[in-house]
Amino acid sequence: MKISEMSKRSGCSIQAIRYYEKEGLITAPARTEGNFRLYGSEEIERLSFINNCRALDLSLSEIKHLLELQSLPSTPCETVNVMIDDHLNVIETRLADLQKLQSSLRKLRPRCNSKRSIDQCGILEALSPNSNHSVSDG
């Protein structure tokens, strides 16, 4: 199978597949005489695995680590579990930050209605320093 079929079957874009190869997440496949990449059906699994991990926003370096672990089947898997815990923490921190942002924006928005001029815009006023309606205020 050539790269475009592999792309469809694994869910990874063609460029992503080539990129993963360059980054060492998958090994370079055989080539046709014309230098086209040629994959066997085994490789679908690995690329699909990568794709699943990306869907959880695991970084390529984390995924690489997981792939390395998979080649050591009898190792204890605690590293994996810890990685997911850590990753979840990162996501939750990001989530908390975004929620603060959302809250700030929701407070900011009603400072202005649609019928003012720029120099009377309550939003711009709140964004300006020396304002007692600061963005970061409770």
Partner DNA sequence: TTAAACTCTATAGTAACTATAGAGTCAAGT
Partner DNA sequence: ACTTGACTCTATAGTTACTATAGAGTTTAA
Instruction: Give the span between the Cα atoms of 108 and 75, in whole angstroms.
Output: 52
Q: Does 135 bind its own copies (CB under 8 A)?
A: yes
Cβ proximity to its own copies, 31 vs 59, nearer residue:
59
Contacts of 27 (CB under 8 A, 6+ apart): 21
Q: Do the Cβ atoms of 48 and 27 come closer than 8 Å?
A: no
With CB under 7 A as the contact rule, the residue among 9, 11, 46, 60 that binds DNA is: 60
Q: How far is CA 113 from CA 8, 58, 73, 99, 109, in A?
A: 48, 42, 62, 24, 9
Q: Does 32 bind DNA (CB under 7 A)?
A: yes
Residues 84-103 that bind Zn ion (CB under 5 A): 87
Residues 40-59 that bind DNA (CB under 7 A): 54, 59
Instruction: Give the span between the Cα atoms of 55 and 60, in whole angstroms.
Output: 12
User: Total number of residues binding its own copies (CB under 8 A)?
Assistant: 57
- For its own copies, the binding residues (CB under 8 A) are 44-45, 48-49, 52-53, 55-57, 66, 69-70, 72-78, 80-81, 84-85, 87-88, 91-92, 94-95, 98-99, 101-102, 104-106, 108-109, 112-121, 123-124, 127-130, 134-136
